[in-house]
Amino acid sequence: MKIILSAFVILFSSISFGQNDLLNTPEKLWAKVNSESYNKLLDSLNTYYDETRNDIKLHDSIKKEELKSLAICDQLIQEFPGSDLVFDAMYRKALITYEYLNIDIAQEFFFKVVNFNTTKTAYKRKAYRFLASIEIDKSNYNQAILYLDESSKYKVTYFCGNEWDTDTRQLRNMYTICFDGLCEKR
């Protein structure tokens, strides 16, 4: 009888305490978005991806994984609106929407990112750059320049000189495109 009772207690405790693993927290959802296996999948897919072959099947599998991340970002934003990770999820949602869905909708998400009250300046800087890129594509060069100016107001910590060089080169190229576009309109 003691064995049956103790087995029942162990079984019941593992069921009831195991339920905590099923409950989502913002950290668990964000970990799903950035899971190591997911990133390894993308790395392996990108390693074998050859743009000259236009490998549609591979692109579709990457898109499918990104859209799964988008759903998890939406879940995090809706279920935990007060979490510090909401801003990260909003930025990731804007990126995925920009890359795979609709640039106009992505623009709205990037506006939400830049207007979000947070101290995470790197994402705001990048969001302004994406807004500038969208305006460049629409030939709205004056607006793009305003976004580029705004992006420069947000300081970023670089971990190596290559990051700084890449960022500076991107900014310089975007300004050049804008000024060349404005000269052509004259």
Q: What is the pLDDT of residues 9-42, one digit of tens each?
A: 444 444 444 444 457 788 888 888 777 445 556 6
Confidence at residue 54, expressed as pLDDT on a 0 to 100 scale: 57
In this structure, the number of other CB atoms found within 10 A of the CB of residue 166 comes to 12
CA distance 180 to 186: 10
Confidence at residue 141, expressed as pLDDT on a 0 to 100 scale: 96
In this structure, the number of other CB atoms found within 10 A of the CB of residue 148 comes to 22
Give pTM, 2 decimals. Answer: 0.74
Cβ proximity of 123 and 137 under 8 Å: no
